[in-house]
Amino acid sequence: MDKTPAICHTCWNKDCSLLKHCNSEWIDFINSKKYAFYYKKGQQVIFERTPAAGLYFIYSGMIKIFKTGLNGRQQIVGFAKPGDILGHRGLGKELNPISASAISDSRLCYIDKQVFEELLDKNPTLTYNLLLYCADELYRSEILTRNMAQLSVREKVADALIRMLDIFKNGDEYSMEILLSRQEIADIAGTTKEQVSKNLTEFRKEAIIDMNGKSMRVVDIERLHRISGKNNE
């Protein structure tokens, strides 16, 4: 599906957070102003502290959003999947506050910040919905802050699995293809790769999850929720 020509009117993605709130006239405008970008797995899309130039809308693929800390350690603060927006954190700012990298081959639609601001100016519904989108991300982020501050490692790993399931699940609600290394899972959970390893084998021994190779199935989601302290709300 990555090969489809990028014509907004015929875009297969009805969840696009941009088009969803635009009428036919604006979709024409967007179509004439947008660019299609392709990123390979592992390629970085947004670089912290570089000029915030525009916004991205995920057409296909998976993006991880992270902040860099001391000695280059990363903290993954969220993901973006098809339909999601990237780069809106840079609105009203000179520089990008966060980084983002592709975790699978991805195709993104790009719009210059200036053009997007024109869209916002002319299209209050879009602005309002972006506000709701942002408020919801703030909500998730503040939960994450609390979890990082208060949970034990076992609890944080359980919480990370629940978050990952939400993003990576394929077909069956409780199965996923893990596209991340142990280190990256550690960067979600806020711990070390060794602790992730240890806790995952623990979970497997307790029949909470089931793994082979890169694929994982959550056997006992209720248990996982109980371990993470139901702290995902």
Partner DNA sequence: CGGGTCCTTGAGCCGGTTCAATGGTAGTGG
Partner DNA sequence: CCACTACCATTGAACCGGCTCAAGGACCCG
How far is residue 155 from each of residues 94, 139, 142, 228, measured CA to CA in Å? 37, 20, 17, 4
Asked if 15 touches DNA (CB under 7 A), the answer is: no
The number of CA neighbours under 13 Å toward the Cβ of 216 is 20
Given the complex with its own copies, which of 11 and 54 has the nearer CB atom? 54
Asked if 11 touches its own copies (CB under 8 A), the answer is: no
Closest-CA residue to 66 (of 144, 153, 165, 156): 144
Give least dist CB 185 to DNA, A: 8
Residue ranges of the alpha helices (H) in 78-211? Answer: 113-122, 124-150, 153-168, 182-189, 193-205
Asked if 163 touches its own copies (CB under 8 A), the answer is: no
Q: Which of 18, 62, 164, 200 binds DNA (CB under 7 A)?
A: 200
Mask for 54-93, x = binds its own copies (CB under 8 A):
-------------x-xx--x-x-x----------xx-xxx
- For residues 116 and 122, give the distance between their C-alpha atoms in angstroms, rounded to a whole number: 10
What does the buried/exposed string (b/e) look like for 58-81 if buried means 16 or more CB atoms within 10 Å of the residue's CB? bbbbbbbbbeeeeeeebebbbbbb
Question: Which of its own copies, DNA, none sits in contact with 106, Cβ below 5 to 8 A by type?
Answer: none
Given the complex with DNA, which of 50 and 183 has the nearer CB atom? 183
Handedness of CA 115, 78, 181, 211 (dihedral sign): negative
Mask for 171-210, x = binds its own copies (CB under 8 A):
-------------------x--------------------
Binding site for its own copies (CB under 8 A): 67, 69-70, 73, 75, 77, 88-89, 91-93, 97-98, 120-121, 124, 127-128, 130-132, 134-139, 141-151, 190, 229, 231
